[in-house]
Amino acid sequence: MDSHDKTIHCADCETDFSFDAEEDEFSQSRGYANEPGRCPSGRNAGKTGRHGSRGNSYGLPRQTFPVRHGGCGKDTEVPFALVDGRLAYYSSYLSKMRLTG
């Protein structure tokens, strides 16, 4: 496939950005079949948002909920709401309980 400079409209910020031949060749070498739909700053914001505590895919802070750990009683936060005052357990604690239980 022949690579050349392109102007692409960003799906997030609605601006046009340049996608040059070198970037296109790099994308193809990595196995990417499609050209990017977002500008570099939009892609970076999305990457930051998709990795846990750095935010969500919309660039907003990740919402967390306070809970108490059922094994040690320590207060912590989880990314989901627990109903009826249920306790949260760490995966390592649950693994230990399965082995001894």
How confident is the model over 10-25, as pLDDT tens digits?
Answer: 888 888 999 988 888 8
Say if residue 15 is exposed, middle or buried (CB neighbours under 10 Å; 0-12, 13-18, 19+).
exposed
| pTM for the full predicted model | 0.42
Average pLDDT, the chain: 76
Whether the Cβ atoms of residue 67 and residue 77 lie closer than 8 Å to each other = yes
Residue 57 CA from chain centroid, whole number: 6
- What pLDDT does residue 85 have? 67
Q: How far apart are CA 10 and CA 53, in angstroms?
A: 25
